[in-house]
Structure 1
Amino acid sequence: MQLAQLLIFLILFPLIAAFFLFLAKRDLDRAWIVKLSALTIGIVSVYLLISTYDKGGLMVSGIPAEPTGMIMFILEMLIALAILYLGIVHKKWLVVALIIIQSAVMLYFELVYAHAIHVQSNLFIDEFSNILALIIGIIGSLICVYSLGYMKFFHEHHPEMPDRRPWFFAVMFVFIAAMFGLVFSNNLLWVYFFWEVTTLCSFLLIGYTKTEEATNNAFLALWMNLLGGIAFAVAIVYLAMFGNGIMGLDELLASGKIIALIPAALIGFAGLTKAAQLPFSSWLVGAMVAPTPVSALLHSSTMVKAGVYIIVRLAPIFQSTFTGYLIAMVGALTFLIASGIAISQSNAKRVLAYSTIANLGLIVACAGIGTYEAIWAAILLIVFHAISKSLLFLSVGTVEHRIKSREIDDMNGLIVRMPKIAAMMVIGMAGMFLAPFGMLISKWAAIRAFMDAPYGFVFVIILVFGSAMTLFFWAKWMGKIIAVTSDGKNIEGEVDHSEWAALVSLAGLSLITTLVFPLLSTKLLEPFLMENYGHVAQLSQDNIIIMMMMLMLLVILPLSILIPTRKHRHVSPYMSGRTTTHDMRFSGSLGVQKKTVLSSYYLTEYFGEMKLKTAGIWLCSALIGIMFVATALQGVIL
């Protein structure tokens, strides 16, 4: 199969699967389509990596821009009309105004400039695209498989909600197709089209339950991402007017800062909105009302990854510019503030949401700095965050269905009630903050990159304090899970086999990826950095040996949970000498029996959500405003 056919297959095949899933009404038919489609997408994603290995960046020609471009434009207008209609029906006038502005900008481009635009290669593939394709194809597909059991359980226990699973799975696969199109497209008009499809898919999935809260949060996500869509559209018009008709991503990167800086800043702003950076973080937190597989897909392999992907792609333009430093500062402040807010959250999904926002902020900070070391760290953060966060979201979804709660305090003794799931959650959390898992390695690389950047000490300080906060909330959650408070009943037998398949695969992937991390760096990251920067970031041999030793030790942790070396012995807790009972009660004042309760510190007086978020919104809004002014001035000066 030729390269062009491979790329087109990965874009179109999920659409075909989506069509049949939309028609499938029986659970058995749906299960077969999802599993076979997921397996096919995963295998082809791996085959794409093998077939393009060690070939560098490859431009794919022979795919005509027309009539493809016209079809995309018609679909864009149909999407705009659908959003306009929904905005009017639900009286969301801000959405109506934004979609009219965005459509007017693109209609103006199509009528005035589109006929003169020519892009040599509409698709391309390089090491970075391959990494994203693996994330989309493997992790995204596993989330779809997990959804089979989850959504069946969801509707069995929520009979009041209409069962729209055919529609749900169809949109999930359209989402995957759009992400493949986005990371393979060299033509900015194509990137823009797939960008808008991801916005629509996220809107539809967030509002899946059709409750008032879900609808409002779906429209919140929509209008915030429409702001980014307008900025992207303006960047396209700017390039047509002042950029000599440049519309290829490769041409934009090669054009120099005189031409590229202003459109890059506009597209970078679009990336900030889609990556849920402050002041736009509210939409991703609001998306938690959707079923858990939607949250996992948004956080790990689709929506927010599109945002950081485009900023990392444009990083060479941002390097050593005031615009880049301001984007980096927005990301750094988001990392710091979101990490602080996560401490005060007791809802597991909200902790995961703010953790995602924080880690995306760190990726944006690295991309804004734009050096080869920073990009090395940014891509590693993308990889390891995708694996760990998808594992955690899906695990929390399974736990929520069995214990009927998302509250972290209700996960006391989970190691007794759901030992295998608890072990997987420990692996996922370890992947987020413990050595030698990739997130900690990536943060170490980010510190190195920040130290070498002008005024980098500011970013280092922010990273240190933000990382300390992440250690706090991950460690206390992990402690709740492995704390044994009673001899609870094991309830893991109720978990569907499709959920087990996805969870076990992701847990194994987390360990394997850390094990082969040096290979990932040597065979994929270093060639990409050498081609784009002329430099590479390498780990010393001693560091690699230390990492391997620590990984072997860390594997013992989940194994020790699942394979006890001696018979469990339950003893009463020591309550300062007070009499205790077998059911964790003790004698209080006047002999009154009270229940022993373990509770976490949330420190809301210091890390309250509204207090920190309000400050972050004002600070980051000011930085973005300054960025646009500074970029315009730099464009004039340059």
Structure 2
Amino acid sequence: MVAINVLLLFPLAVALAIFLVKNDAARSMLVRIGAVITALLTLVVVGIFFKDGIRLSSSIEEIDLIIVVVEVIIAAYIITLGIRSKRYVISIFSFLQTAAMLVFEFGFKEGITVETAIVFDKLTAIMILVIGLVGSLICIYAVGYMKDYHNHHKEYKERKSFFFSILFLFLSAMFGIVLSNNLMWMYFCWEITTLCSFLLIGYTQTEEAKNNALKALVINLGGGVAFAAAIIFIGMNYHTLELSVLIQMKPDAVLMIPVFLLSIAALTKSAQLPFSSWLLGAMVAPTPTSALLHSATMVKAGVYLIIRLAPLLGPTSVGRIVTLGGGVTFLTCSLMAISQSDAKKILAYSTLANLGLIVICASAGTQESLWAAILLIIFHAVSKSLLFISVGSAEHQIGNRNVENMDLLMGVSRKLAFYMMIGIAGMFLAPFGMLVSKWVAMKALIDSKNVIIVIILAYGSAATLFYWAKWMGKLVSKVNMGHKNHHELSLDEELPITILAFLVVISCFTFPLVSRFALEPYLTEVYKKTALIPIETSDIKLMLCMLSMLILLPISFIPVYKNDKRRKVPIYMAGENTGDNQTFYGAMGVKQKVEMRNWYMEEFFGADKLTFLSNVLCTAILVMGIILLIGGLA
């Protein structure tokens, strides 16, 4: 219990200390030390409790009282903010959920006991590792990034103490979400992440940042209303507030009401259509915010809840609705990513798509699909966080984040370009983990005879090839190798990028171990029947051989001959090369610079074209779910 309390409270203490420290050097050192200790605490807690897990009860009424007081303070702040910004829906949402929870707490909660407030099982261990390790690396990266950020953006007020403190508060709240079996505690931490995301997105205090932050607040508060309504419904009808008790109940028409409400909360938090606009708007924030929201925290809270609810979903009406909504998100966002040339927007749309894929797998509700969903969380977290922070550093190196200019990066920082290629490979190339998980997801969905989702998965996966291949193609094209830049990566940036690149590769080698010692025991416990790895041992051996070959590939660039006398010829450019491999003589002898550009197919897959239609479709799917629920009750 002590170790878990320290894990929960240490990032909170670091957040407070950072907020109070104004000296830049002392603050930076405090962030580094806090991040390292948080990562070590993560490993210690997982090491202690991984084998047998732990279930803790809490009869301390003071904790519930503190939570209520903090909730009221947060609600007062948000209601005031909504009135001042004239976004009255913010004030209404905050008032509704807080007032309802207070009435329930002091009027109807009496007699409802929570025997198990905290549960640490194999899934909790995986999530804590993702949050603690990836989140801590992002915090360290932020030290170097924010220094360069404010050197490049003198127009923004420097509020680094505030920024770093919110990062650590975020980590503490996420630890609370994945450890809480008490739905009231989970809801409290859930709302703290909503507030943190609002504060981080609005960091620069520009009009665009403020508007996008308010949009994120509106959507996530809406999800909070659904979460609060579900808690009250469960408490009053089933006299429990324990998530573990809820998922063991037999699905019926009445139980599906709170399950649907919790699913809505999860879909808003994980930015699924039609709730995705807040996550796209978050791109205006500094890169560490994007990396934290998209990889290790915030959006993972939503899919984590769907995974916990998986035994109640599956073939039920709510399960099919959630699966179909995730399918539409996966396909349309994959297509919209094709039309983007801004690397950060590609990462945003691909994040929405991959979250949709995780939602599909989790809500399908089979052991195989849930196996794929949990592995997707791991692979997506390490690969996407690597890509986000690599793009952030590349923007400072080459001056922008346009994919069309990524051919400059090899001439500026070979190391950064190489790490970025590892991140991209981790997202779509065999035998990296994302492709393994998609393979298993396809098999699971075929076995469950969900034909429509199988077709969606096939086309959505094919679409990912377009934008990842274009990006990697620019990185290796070497068209602008002559471009030089003396700006070096700081150690605070380079160390997390290097470690994350290593984690991308090592996760592919170790996923059979993760499956054997974590996923299979967890799935066996949840479904009360033996879970087996859904791919054959021979397939795993083949994948590991392929991965080894990829690792050996860089050896081919090592000079074999000490005095290589092979004749070097200039690159052919559909015109006479001037000799520098950068320019050629075109028509009338005019000297022209070579250009290589991708086709983005905006006329087919532009976000403006697809966003409205996909939002309408997903809204119709959710309305259908409500109708089915009402029909089931009738």
TM-score (norm 1): 0.95
Q: 1:83 to 1:487 in 2, by over 3 A?
A: same
Mapped to 1, the partners of 2:240 and 2:13 lie a distance apart of 33
What percentage of aligned pairs have identical amino acids? 46
C-alpha spacing 1:558/1:42, structure 2 compared with 1 (3 Å): farther
* Native 8 Å contact 1:260 1:317 kept in 2: no
Select 2:12's aligned residue among 11, 15, 34. Answer: 15
**1:510 is aligned to 2:504:** yes
Relative to structure 1, the CA distance from residue 103 to residue 569 in structure 2 (aligned partners, 3 Å threshold; closer, same or farther) is: farther
| Aligned 8 A contact 2:573 2:594 in 1 | no
**Contact 1:218–1:287 (CA under 8 A) maintained in structure 2:** yes
Q: Residue 571 of structure 1: CA displacement?
A: 5.2
Asked if the contact 2:575/2:584 (under 8 Å) is kept, the reply is no
Residue 393 (structure 2) pairs with residue 398 (structure 1): yes
Paired residue for 2:308? 313
Partner of 2:54: 58
Which of the residues 20, 27, 42 maps onto 2:39? 42
Residue 327, structure 1, aligned to residue 325, structure 2: no
Matches within 5 A, 1:79-228: 79-228=74-223
Paired letter, 1:495: L
Query: In the TM superposition, what is the alpha-carbon distance from 1:559 to its structure 2 partner?
Result: 5.9
1:241 aligns to 2:239 (yes or no): no
Please say if residues 303 and 358 of structure 2, whose CA atoms lie closer than 8 Å, have aligned partners that are also in contact.
yes
Distance 2:614 2:8 in 1: 38
Quote how far apart the aligned CAs of 1:446 are. Answer: 0.3
Which deviates more, 124-133 or 412-421? 412-421
1:546 aligns with 2:542: yes
Instruction: Give how far 1:274 is off.
Output: 0.6
Q: What's the CA shift for 1:487?
A: 3.5
Name 2:524's counterpart in structure 1. 530
- Pairs within 5 Å for 1:437-586: 437-454=432-449, 456-491=450-485, 494-533=488-527, 534-538=529-533, 539-557=535-553, 572-578=570-576, 580-582=578-580, 584-586=582-584
Q: CA deviation at 1:97?
A: 2.2
| Structure 1: stretches of 5+ with no match in the other structure | none
Is 1:585–1:593's contact at 8 Å kept on the other side of the alignment?
yes
> Match of 1:58, as an amino acid?
I
Residues 423, 558 of structure 1: 8 Å contact kept? no
**Does the residue aligned with 2:61 lie in a helix, a strand or coil?**
coil
Structure 1, 154-163 or 142-151: larger mean CA deviation: 154-163
Structure 2: how far apart are the matches of 1:262 and 1:559?
Answer: 58
Shift of residue 570, structure 1, vs aligned partner: 7.6
Q: Distance in 1 between matches of 2:521 and 2:167?
A: 33
CA positional deviation for 1:474: 0.3
Counterpart amino acid of residue 286 in structure 1: G
SS of 1:67 mapped into structure 2: helix
Q: In 2 relative to 1, CA 589–8 (structure 1 residues): closer, same or farther, beyond 3 Å?
A: same
What residue is the counterpart of 1:26 in the other structure? 23
SS in 2 for 1:586: strand
Q: Cα gap change, 1:165/1:558 in structure 2, threshold over 3 Å: closer, same or farther?
A: farther
Q: What do residues 311-347 of structure 1 show as CA deviations (whole Å, max 9, x unaligned)? A: 1100101122021011001001100000000000010
User: Structure 2: how far apart are the matches of 1:613 and 1:543?
Assistant: 38
| In 2, Cα distance between equivalents of 1:559 and 1:605 | 42
**Cα offset for 1:593?**
2.6
Q: What's the CA shift for 1:159?
A: 1.8
**Cα distance 1:309–1:216, how it changes in 2: closer, same or farther (>3 A)?**
same
Which amino acid is 2:17 matched to? F
* Larger mean Cα displacement after TM superposition, 524-533 or 113-122: 113-122
> What letter corresponds to residue 471 of structure 1 in structure 2?
L
Quick one: which amino acid aligns to residue 631 of structure 2?
A: L
Q: For the Cα contact (< 8 Å) 2:117–2:242, is it kept in 1?
A: yes
**Equivalent of residue 600 in structure 1, options 569, 578, 598:** 598
Q: Is the 8 A contact 1:372 1:535 kept in 2?
A: no
- Specify the alignment match of 2:333 in structure 1: 338
Shift of 1:577: 4.1
What is the identity, as a one-letter code, of the residue corresponding to 1:290? A
Write the mapping of 1:386-425 to structure 2, written as runs, cut at 5 A: 386-425=381-420
On the 8 A contact 1:413/1:482 being kept in 2, the answer is: no
Q: Which residue of 2 aligns with 1:631?
A: 629
CA distance in 2, matches of 1:250, 1:65: 20
The code of the aligned residue for 1:483 comes to S
Q: Counterparts of 1:63-82 in structure 2 under 5 Å? A: 63-82=58-77
1:250 to 2:247 alignment? no
Partner residue in 2 for 1:431? 426
Preserved contact between residue 327 and residue 357 of structure 2 (Cα < 8 Å): yes
CA 1:579–1:332 in 2, change beyond 3 Å: closer, same or farther? same
Shift of 1:101: 2.1
Within-5 A mapping of 1:289-304: 289-304=284-299
The CA deviation at 1:537 is 3.5
Using a 3 Å threshold, how does the CA distance of structure 1 residues 490 and 517 change in structure 2: closer, same or farther? farther
Corresponding letter in the other structure for 1:608 = G
Q: CA deviation at 1:368?
A: 1.3
Gaps of 5+ in 2: none
Larger displacement relative to structure 2 (197-206 or 582-591):
582-591
- How far off is 1:491 after superposition? 3.5
Q: How far off is 1:416 after superposition? A: 2.5
Describe the shift of the 1:70–1:159 C-alpha distance in structure 2 as closer, same or farther (beyond 3 A): same
Once the two structures are overlaid, the 10-residue window that deviates more, 552-561 or 482-491, is 552-561
Superposed CA RMSD:
1.7
Indicate which of 2, 23, 28 corresponds to 1:5. 2
487-496 vs 591-600, which moves further:
487-496
Once structures 1 and 2 are overlaid, which stretch shifts more, 412-421 or 281-290?
Answer: 412-421
- Residue 208 of structure 1 aligns to a residue whose secondary structure is coil
Evaluate the alpha carbon distance shift between residue 185 and residue 414 of structure 1 in structure 2; reply closer, same or farther with a 3 A threshold: same
* 8 Å Cα contact 1:572-1:584 kept in structure 2: no
Compared with structure 1, are the counterparts of its residues 579 and 134 closer, same or farther at alpha carbon in structure 2 (3 Å cutoff)? closer
Amino acid at match of 2:425: A
Q: Are 2:303 and 2:359, in contact at CA under 8 Å, matched by a contact in 1? A: yes
Q: Tell me, yes or no, if structure 1 residue 378 matches structure 2 residue 376.
A: no
The answer for the alignment partner of 2:620 in structure 1 is 622
For residues 559 and 481 of structure 1, do their structure 2 counterparts lie closer, same or farther at Cα, with a shift above 3 Å needed?
farther
Equivalents in 1 of 2:32, 2:577: separation in Å? 55
Q: Secondary structure at the match of 1:488?
A: coil
The 8 Å contact of residues 410 and 481 in structure 2, kept in 1 or not, is answered as: no
> AA paired with 2:588?
L
What secondary structure, in the 3-state scheme, does the structure 2 residue paired with 1:594 have?
Answer: strand
* Structure 1 residue 581, shift from structure 2 partner: 4.8
Q: 1:564 to 1:131 in 2, by over 3 A?
A: farther
Q: Is the 8 A contact 1:573 1:580 kept in 2?
A: no
Q: Is the 8 A contact 2:50 2:125 kept in 1?
A: no
Q: Aligned letter for 1:232?
A: F
CA 1:107 to 1:478, structure 2 compared with 1: closer, same or farther past 3 Å? same
Q: Which amino acid aligns with 1:86?
A: L
